[in-house]
Structure 1
């Protein structure tokens, strides 16, 4: 979240510079004074420059500061929005997670019920292929599937939709290096199947 605020802050500062300097593209300055069309401006660094040259330079500065400021501000806002959304999905008590759970439960209510033994058998019979680089280490996925089966058998706390979301968020964390593990497409397909079946389990 820190980098989102940094990008947004720098973007706002750059846009502020654009607001202060955009008027120079219409009537440039020589120092602090506005120039007229026949005026020349002398500088110890760049020498004399005409009204038109100063105006063109000011227009170029305004062009780039506007675009850089917008990119930074919008990028920072996007990063902050993504972080807030991620936190909302991770938190089981958040309104986003609860709303998603309610929608998922309502959509599955009319579907046929699934015996827990059937889902356990499907999980155990699924063979996940391994690949050299994957966001899903084998031990990580195996432990999670054991937790799902234990919950279905009543031996462990039941797995919820939030647990599945958390597994995926941790797997694709930008701070974690990929290593040998299960094929991500196969794992995601199995997680989707578990997700779709949990609310339909017969009790």
Structure 2
């Protein structure tokens, strides 16, 4: 009898152990699946964040790229004076072509066709006997400066855009012979200064 009870006890103990192992295995299955399911969104979220950061960097690069356009004012002896848009790597020659080309009176010996254009640049194509005005206005005269042509000396007259030593001397000679200028238009009577040049100088001179 004692051997039978021992056998029964061992069998019962084995059954209990198997039951416990089965319960542990069964309870562990949902937990592993839950952990796996919970980890997936975090991985996806990291990938999405990485994509957003990459797209943001690309957007910044696109913003930093300049468009390369400049606007220039073409005046003087061209068929269609006006403001034109060009690429930053283009030259004065292209600007003149956009303005319809030069007239028969143009003095191209004073114009550098190979000069690279700049934003807010003034390109003045002079006629015979006139002087050219090429470049940003800020570089040709003092900002906001207006010169009184009836009182200015040689050095002051030369600060006016388009007025060099020869024209400044001609203005002084005219004043000595004819007296003060009565109107701005009277400047066209000075040797080497035409009506178009007077229009170019109007904002920089006074009487």
Point out the structure with the larger strand share: 2
Higher relative contact order (CA 8 A, sep 6+): 1
Question: TM-score higher than 0.5 here?
Answer: no
TM-score by length of 2: 0.25
Higher alpha-carbon Rg: 2
Taking structure 1 as the reference length, the TM-score comes to 0.26
